[in-house]
């Protein structure tokens, strides 16, 4: 029976992701080399830290082409936090550094005086604290995203970040969150789901999301 591979490229929140999978009785293991992916049926790409360091570590550990190939093959993939940002073309955090380029678009920095256009609290919102650390609501923008099965719309998830993704293709956006501006906090396209928040640190709703990923993996493997 193949496992869920949690990619270790030197910058991941591996312990919390691995522990959450164990709690849910998902068969997962930490992967340190692309050759180990032969024993896997799904991939989780976690990440914390800076975009440039992330991409340097991914390349150094020979995971860049492995990740692109995995996604292109249609196998289940979940990205978490920096693992979402790395899927895009580049980031304002590290100018000149290429991302994986799975999705068109860039990663942008929160401005401390950002205001969400048309949001009712925009004019009275206090100056933003950057990074955003803590719980915030995720509004689901896609009606059939399997990762949100059993999760209420506008459920609260745990965030830690100073940058957010800005996809060129609005159709891949699966969730949005208001923090000064109304930004993309989750994407979904075919076999790829990725979130800016941390499901593994988001208590019951986060565990439900990881459980949904496990069910999707079983469905793909059947």
Catalytic, 170? Answer no
SS (H, E, C) 179-219: ECEEEEEEEEECCEEEECCCHHHCHHHHHHHHHHHHHHHHH
Pick the catalytic residue from 61, 81, 93, 184.
Answer: 81
Looking at 21, 161, 184, 200, which residue is catalytic? 200
194 vs 165: CA distance, rounded Å: 11
145 is an active site residue: no
Phi then psi for residue 170, to 5 deg, are -65, -25
Residue 200 catalytic? yes
Active site residues: 81, 198, 200
């Amino acid at each position: 029976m193949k496992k869920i591979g949690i990619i270790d490229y030197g910058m991941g929140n591996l312990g919390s992701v691995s522990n959450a999978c164990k709690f849910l009785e998902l068969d997962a293991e930490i992967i340190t080399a692309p050759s180990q992916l032969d024993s896997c049926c799904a991939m989780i790409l976690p990440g914390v830290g800076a975009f440039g360091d992330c991409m340097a570590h991914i390349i150094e550990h020979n995971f860049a082409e492995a990740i692109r190939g995995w996604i292109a093959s249609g196998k289940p993939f979940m990205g978490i936090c920096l693992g979402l940002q790395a899927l895009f073309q580049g980031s304002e955090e590290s100018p000149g550094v290429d991302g994986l380029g799975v999705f068109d678009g860039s990663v942008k920095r929160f401005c401390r005086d950002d205001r969400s256009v048309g949001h009712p609290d925009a004019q009275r919102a206090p100056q933003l604290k950057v990074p955003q650390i803590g719980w915030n609501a995720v509004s689901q923008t896609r009606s059939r995203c399997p990762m949100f099965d059993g999760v209420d719309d506008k459920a609260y998830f745990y965030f830690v970040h100073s940058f957010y993704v800005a996809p060129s293709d609005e159709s891949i956006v699966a969730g949005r969150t208001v923090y000064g501006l109304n930004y993309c906090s989750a994407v979904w396209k075919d076999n790829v789901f990725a979130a800016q928040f941390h499901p593994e640190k988001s208590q019951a709703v986060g565990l439900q999301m990881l459980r949904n990923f496990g069910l999707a993996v079983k469905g793909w493997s059947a």
